[in-house]
Amino acid sequence: MPDHHPSRHAWLVVLILFGGSVLNYVDRSVLGVVKPHLQRDLSLNNFQYGLAVNSFLISYSVLYILGGRLADRFGYRRVFPINVAFWSMACMLHSLARGLGSLCIFRGLLGVGEGGFYPSAIRGTSELFGPEERAKPVGVLMCGLSVGALITPPIVAWITYHYGWRAAFTATGAAGLLLIPAWELLQRGPASPAQATPEGSRAGLLAVLGHRKYLCLLLARAVTDAVWTFYLFWMPGYFQEGRGFDLRAVGMLLWIPFLCADIGALAGGWASSGLIRRGWSIDRSRKTVLFIAASLGILGVLVPATHSAGVALALVGAVLFGQLAWTSNIHTSLTEIAPKEHVAVLYGITGAAGNGLGALAQPLIGRSVDTSGYNPAFLWAGLTYVAAIAFVAAMGKIEPIKRRIA
């Protein structure tokens, strides 16, 4: 089994994976920041811009599954540098875009490279850390999401202002390549042994896919991933259109919810790990944190009801704190129910489901905002956590899915 006290080597691996998580999110987010400049130079309308966005989402969803399968087959050590090199060069290729066709191709390639990252990273944490510590590195990885969302606008805006949007893609893409030498140097160190699963008790991939425990976890993750995309893509517009924020206020204040999300990712992981060290079972500790985190997510229904913009911002901060605390533990729970040899692909399938549901929700949210304002969207987002709690309760005990013996 993994060491109860993870080695310095294991945490250095997590540090590089965290860097990958940050840059993964930065590179996909550059397009949104440079959107006006890129559309003007390439003569793209909003419909064409949407096609480019979907090129990324489609390839990303497919590679979330296929990339997980590759990580299970060849190991996270081999797959990580390939993923980073591929998506970094794809990001740099955006600087050569001359029209819609080339932009869609480069966005698709970016999705191919980025899609396999998180499944392989989760596979790595499951090998390097035991159950009592595993939620901590997963929390660090999830923290990279909001760190990437936090730092992209100021960095990319500065590069674009001084050197143009093409330079922004070149610079952010090149940054990822710096991770590869550090990774290769670190992999010369000793590998931590993976947690053993009794041969006779392992469930096959198809058996897990049809198991209630896995299906409930998949649904719990997918519906809350859709909520994350709502807050990520619609929160800035809400505070400008519904709360009167100008761009200066957006820049000064809207980093706060993402900071809350970072804290939630770490707090959620450390909290459940701490409960396990105190003698709580994995099931009890994970579900306790999941239910508390989901309760914070429900507070989103109050956002449009308050008259104070400051209170609304605080509520969104509480929701995103809960969202990332939830994410740290729901992702970790997957590693605790899945057979070791299928962790990455099963994680990839849950990610593809969440990404797909989030993409489907976007036009529905847009129509709702156009016709009824933001109130129904916040109500949906808050009540989604009630459904997520029900899915976690219905999955049964968080423990390995075992093969049924006739």
CATH of the domain at 97: 1.20.1250.20
Residues 128 and 233 in one domain: no
Pick from 115, 25, 120: which is nearest to 80 by CA? 120
pLDDT for 189:
56
Tell whether 181 and 222 lie within a shared domain.
no
Question: In the chain, how many domains are there?
Answer: 2
- Based on its alpha-carbon atoms, the radius of gyration of the chain, rounded to whole angstroms, reads 21
Same domain, 149 and 277: no
Query: Do 275 and 166 share a structural domain?
Result: no
Q: Exposed, middle or buried: residue 162 (CB in 10 Å: 0-12, 13-18, 19+)?
A: exposed
- Do 370 and 248 share a domain, yes or no? yes
Cα gap 109→329, rounded to integer Å: 30
3-class secondary structure, 402: strand
Claim to verify: residue 63 and residue 180 sit in the same structural domain: yes
Domain that holds residue 49: 1-196
103 and 213 housed in the same domain: no
18 & 136 share domain: yes
> Which residue, 318, 270, 265, is CA-closest to 295?
318
| Tens digit of each residue's pLDDT, the chain (406 residues) | 444 456 788 889 999 999 999 999 899 888 877 888 888 899 988 788 878 888 888 888 888 888 888 888 888 899 999 999 999 999 999 999 999 999 999 999 999 999 889 989 988 888 888 877 888 888 898 888 878 878 888 888 889 888 999 999 999 999 999 999 999 888 775 554 444 444 445 567 788 888 899 999 999 999 999 898 888 878 877 887 888 887 677 777 888 898 999 999 999 999 999 999 899 999 999 999 999 999 999 999 999 999 999 999 999 999 999 999 999 999 999 888 888 888 888 888 998 898 888 888 878 888 888 888 889 999 999 999 999 999 999 999 998 887 654 3
The answer to whether residues 130 and 8 belong to one domain is yes
Q: Are residues 216 and 179 in the same domain?
A: no
Is residue 82 domain-shared with residue 147, that is, in the same domain?
yes
DSSP 229-281: HHHHHHHHHHHHHTS---HHHHHHHTTHHHHHHHHHHHHHHHHHHHHHHTT--
